[in-house]
Structure 1
Amino acid sequence: MSNTIQGFSKLSKEEKINWLTQSFLPHNPKAEAILKQYWNTDETLQQLHDEFIENTVTNYYLPLGIAPNFVINNKTFAIPMAIEESSVVAAASKAAKFWMSRGGFKAEILGTEKIGQVHFMYTGKESEVRALFDASKAELLADLKPLTASMEKRGGGITDLKLVNKTEALEHYYQLHVTFETLDAMGANFINTCLEQLSESWQRIFASQTSKPENGTLQVVMSILSNYVPGCVVRAEVNCAVSELSEADGIDPQEFAEKFVQAVRIAEVEPYRAVTHNKGIMNGIDAVVLATGNDFRAIEAGAHAYAAKDGRYSSLTHAEIKDDHFRFWIEIPLALGTVGGLTKLHPLVKLNLEMLGNPSAPQLMEIIAVAGLAQNFGAVKSLTTTGIQKGHMKMHLMNMLNQLEATKTEKEQAVSHFKTHKVSHNAVHQFIEALRHNTEK
């Protein structure tokens, strides 16, 4: 156990790096330099980044790209996307351009409700605990007033509180199920603070009863928000006459529309396809979620739970042809914030939100849902026409060249060559090897 350490968090950043490189990277003489080359030269900015998380040793960069030409509800946006995967920004941009001349994207909010729960075990009769809840509900809500007053002034707060019996799923298991409106805040800290106060009040009320329920004991297990928010949902869509799809890679518009709809229907009924289909949607969504300082892990978890809401994992997008019109849409839960957290701390996040017109949380929901729909349109369009690899591998070409440590001249020659040749790892490797062999002669 020679590589263990006590008090690591108390070390300076230099000391952390020194221990890390000696203990786990002893054979890499460049390790320290690599870690330090990503430090920001602006000490104030670097300190800000250091304080986002614990035990910081350096920064981990992701490219920030821009997908222009998004027309959403008749307003034009340039959407920032933070992601490392090739072709995502290009596909979103291409889809935006395609739909810009066909009426653009339409989006609407279907709900903004957030959820939190106090999970507890109760061993007595349901009728007794329900009677206690009904009698004390007003007191429970009153205890929360000091925490919710500010949010209520802005139009938010707690929208409902109910007792839920879950004993059929797990013996003695009940919930205090709470719904919230958190406006432009994602609301995690607000919700969790309210739930912990609710838990304390509930336990106090139960313990102070003058006549105890027969054989009934109560134990709070935990109090926590849920990242599954089926009441915080946005819909985004595109539609046009089938005849307007004529630019779809030269394919007959009717054939293209029919193949596209069939591809989406396959994702609706086949979970193996649905997972990859939805992963492509999340390529677009996560990239904007990251760029705007929101929690992409929460968004991912909630989206995939929503995809399985009917008892089988399915597509998040849907498509149809009706009355010679093609329609493609997404409904997805997105619990987002435009105030609090990184939105007020990270300089690039603030700039990205300004780029989007400083949207409210519902407006950001619409923008991000559109990004996901655009990404999915681009992917399904490629899959049903030219195939996914033709465009993706050409976008991936520069990564392959960098892996081969190609020079600037070699990159220029490779890019020119692969404009008319199929890109593959083997083909790129052979091309570079041939260039170098000819140069050596």
Structure 2
Amino acid sequence: MGKSTASSRITSFYKLEHQQRLDKIAEFLGENIFNQDHFLDTGNTDFQIVDNMIENAIGTMNIPIGLATNMIVDGKDKLIPMATEESSVVAAVCNAARQCRDTGGFYTYTSEHIMIGQVQLINVINPMITKQIILENEDEIKNICNEVDPLLVQLKGGFKGMEIRILDDGHEYNVIVHIFVDTCDAMGANAVNSMVEALSPVLERWTNAKANMRILSNLADKRLSMARATWRTEDIGGEAVRDAMLSAFRFADSDPYRAATHNKGIMNGISAVILATGNDTRAIEAGAHAYACQTGRYRSLSSWGVDKDGNLCGTLELPMAVGLIGGATKVHPTAQQNLKILDIDSADDLARITCAVGLAQNFAAMKALVTTGIQKGHMSLHAKNIAVMAGAKANEVNKVTELLVKGGKIRIDVAEEILANLRH
């Protein structure tokens, strides 16, 4: 592959048609190594939709969508679409859900749909006086915020309160204004950001301070979701397995190195549902990991114990700022189809289901780790990917996968050798 001498400074790339953009890429690479046809095929999403969603769009990347079965959430059987590229994630949820069906599945709770908007005031002369001046004008602040989105107010959302924090950043005192906004069935980022931007010049006028940052917080700790479930001891392999899982939880809760992977496992399930429904995976992940630090150190998002009968009980609590309206959720056709599969009426329903999936994922990961090991199930499924990477055709993948798993060495060189033997 030769080095390109072309410049990446492409004027008005965003104005070009789809084919013209691909031609520019081919020109930049300098060799016939760019498959334009691959990017011209945008699957079941029209390029115009893609082009409207992001800047400088050139194509799409398909992520597999799997269906989690066996789930009972608040007494209702649910089929749950999950978008992920990682092997074993969907299977893990199915298995965990199957093992707690006899105890009623998952029970959930959600708090209000409150998002937090922040205004950072700097160059403050007297922080306590500034704080009181702002609090004295709460009614005016409410009016300013609600005028930004009257439709939200009609839906019984909008401004619901505020708090003022005084923060020493090591250089000066900042006064941080928090507004609390009920965003109803929306995630709410656009509404909240518009409100704090509208509020900022008024705060500056009242306080003679400067509004520096005006943005929502993804630590949505006033928009929590909880899920709980019970697994009977005899259904999960006995007391030894139960106690090993409890020990694994305590390890994660006391050691941030373990907690990082423990919580990542939870987010494997949660992020897959969030992505499948067109919601913001980065916002949910940032909020979750920040919430894991609420005690001052990074801990497990889940909690595990036993009930009066000695059965294993798990709970999961984390911020869940999801929406059914706005953004990719409303624009992306696949997200719309996935929401139909979920058969839900509100963002509250989506938050409950997503939290339940996270708990199921956590159960499955902990059980695998203390019994067969995480690699057995994961690598068995990953073997299909290895078979394809080795060049196996559609009619060869299953046989190569079978032989990889049987041999216990899930490597591409082994797959290539198996494939060569099969073909000869």
TM-score normalized by structure 1?
0.89
Q: Report the counterpart of residue 413 of structure 1 in structure 2.
A: 399
Matched, 1:259 2:244: yes
- C-alpha distance in 2, partners of 1:247/1:418? 30
Matches of 2:415 and 2:113 in 1, distance apart? Answer: 54
**Alignment partner, residue 24 of structure 2:** 19
**For residue 191 of structure 1, what is the aligned residue in structure 2?**
192
Equivalent residues of 2:233, 2:311 under 8 A apart: no
Q: Residue 37 of structure 2 aligns to which amino acid in structure 1?
A: A
Match of 1:157 in 2: 158
2:42 is aligned to 39
Matched residues in 2 for 1:312 and 1:421: separation?
A: 43
CA contact (8 A) 1:353 1:359 kept: no
The one-letter code matched in structure 2 to 1:231 is K
Q: Tell me which of 217, 221, 239 is aligned to 1:230.
A: 221
SS in 2 for 1:166: strand
- 1:220 partnered with 2:211: yes
Comparing 194-203 with 273-282, greater Cα deviation is found at 194-203
Deviation at 1:314, TM superposition (A): 0.9
Measured after TM superposition, the shift of residue 245 of structure 1 is: 2.9
Supply the distance in 2 between the matched residues of 1:41 and 1:197 (Cα, whole angstroms).
39
> For the aligned residues, what is the CA RMSD?
2.1
Q: How far apart, in 2, do the equivalents of 1:220 and 1:435 lie? A: 64
- State how far apart, in whole Å, the 2-side matches of 1:172 and 1:273 are: 36
Asked whether the 8 Å contact 1:119–1:176 carries over to 2, the reply is yes
Q: Please, what TM-score do these two structures have when normalized by structure 2?
A: 0.93
CA–CA distance in 1 between the matches of 2:233 and 2:245? 11
Report the alpha carbon displacement of residue 90 of structure 1 after superposing the two structures with TM.
1.0
Q: Which moved further from structure 2: 137-146 or 194-203?
A: 137-146
Q: How many Å separate the matches in 1 of 2:244 and 2:146?
A: 55
TM-aligned CA deviation for residue 138 of structure 1: 2.5
- Secondary structure at the residue paired with 1:21? helix
CA shift, 1:141, in A, is 2.4
C-alpha distance in structure 1 between counterparts of 2:214 and 2:151, whole Å: 22
The secondary structure found in structure 2 opposite 1:58 is coil
- Would you say 1:429 and 2:413 are equivalent positions? yes
| Residue 57 of structure 2 corresponds to residue 82 of structure 1 | no
- Name 2:371's counterpart in structure 1: 385
Gaps of 5+ in 1: 207-216
Aligned-pair CA distance for 1:124: 1.2
Inter-CA distance 322–99: structure 2 relative to 1 (3 Å threshold): closer
Read off the aligned partner of 1:376 and give its amino acid letter: N
SS, match of residue 67 in structure 1: strand
In the other structure, the counterpart of 2:330 is: 344
- SS of the aligned residue for 2:396 comes to helix
Q: 1:122 to 1:28 in 2, by over 3 A?
A: same
For residues 125 and 350 of structure 2, the distance between their equivalents in structure 1, rounded to whole angstroms, comes to 46
Q: Matches of 1:72 and 1:47 in 2, distance apart? A: 37
Whether 1:286 aligns to 2:291 is no
For structure 2, list consecutive stretches of 5 or more residues without a partner in the other structure: none
- 2:386 matched to which residue of 1? 400
Query: Shift of residue 22 of structure 1?
Result: 2.0
Sequence identity percentage: 34
The runs of at least 4 aligned residues of structure 1 exceeding 4 Å deviation read 437-440
Take 1:105 and 1:393, find their aligned partners in 2: how far apart are those partners? 28
Please give the secondary structure, in 2, of the residue aligned with 1:275.
Answer: helix
CA drift at 1:28: 4.4
Aligned residue runs from structure 1 range 354-393, under 5 A: 354-393=340-379
Q: Is the 8 A contact 2:225 2:352 kept in 1?
A: yes
Q: Paired residue for 1:8, among 13, 29, 35? A: 13
- What letter corresponds to residue 303 of structure 2 in structure 1? H
Number of residue pairs matched? 418
Alpha-carbon spacing, 1:82–1:412, altered in 2? closer, same or farther (3 Å): closer
Deviations 1:177-208 (A, max 9, x none): 111111111111111111111112222334xx
1:26 maps to amino acid: G
Q: How many Å separate the matches in 2 of 1:138 and 1:431?
A: 69
Q: Distance in 2 between matches of 1:131 and 1:103?
A: 50
| 1:318 Cα deviation from its structure 2 partner | 1.1
Matched AA of 1:139: E
Instruction: Report how far residue 136 of structure 1 moved.
Output: 2.9
Question: 1:59 corresponds to which residue?
Answer: 60
Note closer, same or farther for the CA distance 1:382–1:41 as it changes in structure 2 (3 Å cut): closer
